Amino acid sequence: MLTGFELSFGLLAIVASSFVIGTVGFGFALVAAPVLLLYLEPQQVVVVINSLIGLMMVLVLVRTWRHLEIRLAMGLVLGGMAATPIGVLGLNSASPGVLRVTIAIVIIFLALVSLKNVQLPFTRTRMAGPSFGFLTSLATTTIAIGGPIAAIYAVSQEWKPERVRATLALLFIASDIMAFALYSATGLVSRDTLANIGVMIPGMITGFGLAGLVVNRINDRIFRHAMIAVIVVAGSATLVREFSGV
Segment 165-176 mean pLDDT: 91
Straight-line distance from the first to the last Cα atom of the chain, in angstroms, rounded to the nearest whole number: 22
| Eight-state DSSP code of residue 40 | S
Segment 147-164 mean pLDDT: 82
Q: How far apart are CA 125 and CA 30, in angstroms?
A: 29
pLDDT in the model for residue 202:
96
Q: How many domains does the chain have?
A: 1
Q: Where residue 35 falls among pLDDT bands split at 50, 70, 90?
A: confident
Query: Model-level pTM?
Result: 0.79
pLDDT in the model for residue 190:
93
Closest listed residue to residue 23, CA positions, set 156, 147, 162, 145: 162
Closest listed residue to residue 96, CA positions, set 32, 148, 57, 143: 143
Q: How far apart are CA 49 and CA 140, in angstroms?
A: 10
Segment 12-27 mean pLDDT: 85
Range of the domain at 69: 4-244
Dump pLDDT digits (tens) for 201-232: 999 999 999 888 887 777 767 766 776 777 67
pLDDT in the model for residue 24:
76
Closest listed residue to residue 168, CA positions, set 143, 150, 156, 183: 150
The CA–CA distances, whole Å, from 76 to 79, 107, 139, 184 equal 5, 17, 14, 24
Angle at 106 between CA 111 and CA 180, to 5 degrees: 100
H runs (alpha helix) in 125-160: 128-143, 147-157
The radius of gyration of the chain's CA atoms, rounded to the nearest angstrom, is 17
Closest listed residue to residue 51, CA positions, set 159, 237, 188, 163: 188
Dump pLDDT digits (tens) for 60-101: 899 889 988 888 889 999 999 999 999 888 887 766 566 567
